[in-house]
Amino acid sequence: MEKSIKLAVFDMAGTTIKDNSNVAAAFQEAFLHHGFDKVTLEEAQEKMGYPKPLAIRDILTQNISIQSEVTEELISAVHDDFVSNMIEYYRNTPGISAMDDAEEVFAELQKMGIKVGLDTGFSRDITDVILDRVGWKNTPLIDITVCSDEVERGRPYPELIQVMMKKFGITDPKQVIKIGDTEVDVNQGHNSGCLMSIAVTTGAFTETELRKHHPTHVVHSLREVVGLVKGRHKM
């Protein structure tokens, strides 16, 4: 018997938040500040969605020939610069706003009895600045937010989603759907055993790029998520 959907987990930047896709540029700038001028925008873009300290370690490993020089101190210093860049960016850059239809979609899902969660590869300090900026800090439209620094392993591992499931007493991941704009979001949904792992083309990657990671569905707006849910949801 098909079960009802109880939780929809959305990514933030590029999925529910418009941010002009400049996260990768800020990430690259943090490396440049520490003398890593060969880190490309493409390298930075590939790491979107991952927990940032892990992404920094991976990029440093690719750009430093002597691996013993990839120290926790260096990772922390690059990460501190990235966090500062992001906080400044999300506080002051024009054009940061909720994605089209995001709030309406959240409200419709909640009317169907579905909890709405946000998860992210950002740490809590950046996340709170974003939530403040778009007026979502204490909105009833979002039932829970979980950040990469609040679990042992962030995306693509299932722990962020598992925290939300535990909060709401959900034991079956087939009652959960995941929506995001990156490879990491898609794989997180799969690794969590979600009923749907939906890729949306409003962010960092094209439909062709996203389909390589085998999402259950590809949509071009959040509005399409409601239709997919109505087709599977048991009231």
Structural domain boundaries enclosing 130: 7-19+96-232
State how far the alpha carbon of 190 is from the alpha carbons of 18, 33, 53, 71, 143, in Å. Answer: 25, 36, 23, 32, 22
Residue 226 sits in the same domain as residue 111: yes
Residue 121 sits in the same domain as residue 77: no
Residue 68, in any domain of the structure: yes
Select from 119, 118, 123 the least CA-distant residue to 55: 123
The pLDDT value given to residue 233: 66
- Report the alpha-carbon angle 208-211-217, nearest 5: 120
Question: Which of 70, 92, 114 is where one domain is finished?
Answer: 92
Three-state SS at 13: strand
Residue 39, in any domain of the structure: yes
Sign of CA dihedral 148, 153, 158, 164: negative
Q: Is 65 exposed, middle or buried (0-12, 13-18, 19+ CB in 10 A)?
A: exposed
Q: Where are the strands (E) in 17-166, listed by range? A: 17-18, 97-98, 115-120, 144-147
The pLDDT value given to residue 21: 67
Question: Which of 67, 92, 117 is where one domain is finished?
Answer: 92
Residue 83 sits in the same domain as residue 102: no
pLDDT in tens, the chain (235 residues): 457 999 999 999 999 999 876 788 888 999 999 999 999 988 888 888 888 888 999 999 999 988 999 999 999 999 999 999 889 989 998 989 999 999 999 999 999 999 999 999 999 999 999 999 999 999 999 999 999 999 999 999 999 999 999 999 999 999 999 999 999 999 999 999 999 999 999 998 999 999 999 999 999 999 999 999 998 766 5
Residue 124 sits in the same domain as residue 55: no
Residue 1, in any domain of the structure: no
The pLDDT value given to residue 2: 58
Residue 53, in any domain of the structure: yes
Token pair of 180, please? 């995001």
Amino acid at 36: F
Residue 81, in any domain of the structure: yes
The pLDDT value given to residue 88: 92
The pLDDT value given to residue 1: 43
Residue 2, in any domain of the structure: no
For 36, other C-beta atoms within 10 Å of its C-beta total 17
Considering its fold, how many domains does the chain have in total?
2
Residue 78 sits in the same domain as residue 190: no
Residue 216, in any domain of the structure: yes
Select from 14, 22, 1, 16 the least CA-distant residue to 183: 14
Q: Is 169 exposed, middle or buried (0-12, 13-18, 19+ CB in 10 A)?
A: exposed
Residue 187 sits in the same domain as residue 123: yes
The pLDDT value given to residue 50: 87
Residue 196, in any domain of the structure: yes
Residue 52 sits in the same domain as residue 104: no
Q: What is the CATH number of the domain that holds 55?
A: 1.10.150
The pLDDT value given to residue 46: 85
Residue 116 sits in the same domain as residue 85: no
Q: What is the CATH number of the domain that holds 195?
A: 3.40.50.1000
**pTM listed for this prediction:** 0.90
